[in-house]
Amino acid sequence: MRIIDEVKHARTIAIGGHIRPDGDCVGSVMGLYLYLKKVMPEAEIDVYLDEPAEIFRCISHIEDIKSGINVEKEYDVFVALDTTDDRLGDAEPIYRRARKKINVDHHISNHGCGDVSVIEPDRSSTAELLYDLMEPEKVDEEIAKAIYIGIVHDTGVFRYSNTSPRTLQIAAELIKYGFDFSKIVDETFFEKTYLQMQIMGRAVLESVRFMGERCIVSMVSRRMMEFYRVTPKDLDGIVNHLQSVKGVDCAIFMYETGTLEYKVSMRSNGKVDVAAVAMKFGGGGHVRAAGCTMNGTYHDNINNLSIEIAEQLKNE
């Protein structure tokens, strides 16, 4: 399938991704936006997404993103990337109204929610999958850069086991466009502000291991976020850091989103299928990286997650 064959008759196109967008989400949404603007100059194309983190300012035309907007418009086509329709946030009603819905994703928990769905769980990232739906000769430096950012973020800079030979081939094709990939990796993936580093330190300091030291958990409360003057976007990477503790099979990180409400992120080395755990609580993701929202006290949530994790480790 080529994405262009699915959208070429459209006069109005909307593109969207999941709430609290990560690098893959921002990279694929912007990559597709820049690509369609180039190959379909007559079409009216809009991007709906929660405001991306500051680090993604290096992506061309990122300022075109419409955040927190509720329009009555009926688009000919809506392309939902890196997500299911129920995580589109403000764009969900716009998606539902669209005449044709296209869903491109790599989450194993997504069973496809479009008139056309391309779901490939073996792909490292939606950005990688999207690249293979484009005509390579139409890609340019700015499109390449957006896609590269998507791949880099979902593979932890080509480190996670979702990295395949195809991922690296695509990355090789992308860096031929000549953008400063090393700077992009440093500035969007590794670099942290002092306050981000401090709250990460605090989360690590207060982490607790359990289940025979095979699991690790930590939490950031709203009060802590206020104290360090950080927002949820500043907490990215904490759960990965916890997962890199020697001997840990499963890392859990939560931050408070409301009264008795937590956003939960989980990472595993493959021994625990965290997507299956997250799905039990209405979330989803991948075997080694998944998330959900949970209601209850911090300790109740740990208990409930532990039951599912222990069940899996028992059957190991």
Chain residues in the site for ligand AMP (CB under 6 A): 18, 22, 87, 107, 109, 239, 265, 283-286, 289-292
Shortest Cβ 259–Mn ion spacing (Å)? 27
Q: Distance between CA atoms of 306 and 316, rounded to whole angstroms?
A: 15
CB nearer to ligand AMP: pick between 151 and 292: 292
Shortest Cβ 263–Mn ion spacing (Å)? 14
Residue at 223: amino acid letter: R
SS3 assignment for 135-199: CHHHCCHHHHHHHHHHHHHHHCCCCCCCCCHHHHHHHHHHHCCCCCHHHHHHHHHHCCCHHHHHH
- Tell whether residue 236 is a contact of Mn ion (CB under 5 A): no
Place of tokens 């104290």: 227
Question: 3, 10 in Cβ contact below 8 A?
Answer: no
122-151: which residues touch Mn ion (CB under 5 A)? 125-126
- Tell whether residue 25 is a contact of Mn ion (CB under 5 A): yes
Residue from 154, 236, 256, 308 binding Mn ion (CB under 5 A): 154
**Token pair for 166:** 């195809």
- Tell whether residue 6 is a contact of Mn ion (CB under 5 A): no
Shortest Cβ 253–Mn ion spacing (Å)? 16
**Token pair for 44:** 């009216």
- Tell whether residue 46 is a contact of Mn ion (CB under 5 A): no
CB nearer to Mn ion: pick between 149 and 294: 149
Residues that bind Mn ion (CB under 5 A): 22, 24-25, 82, 125-126, 154
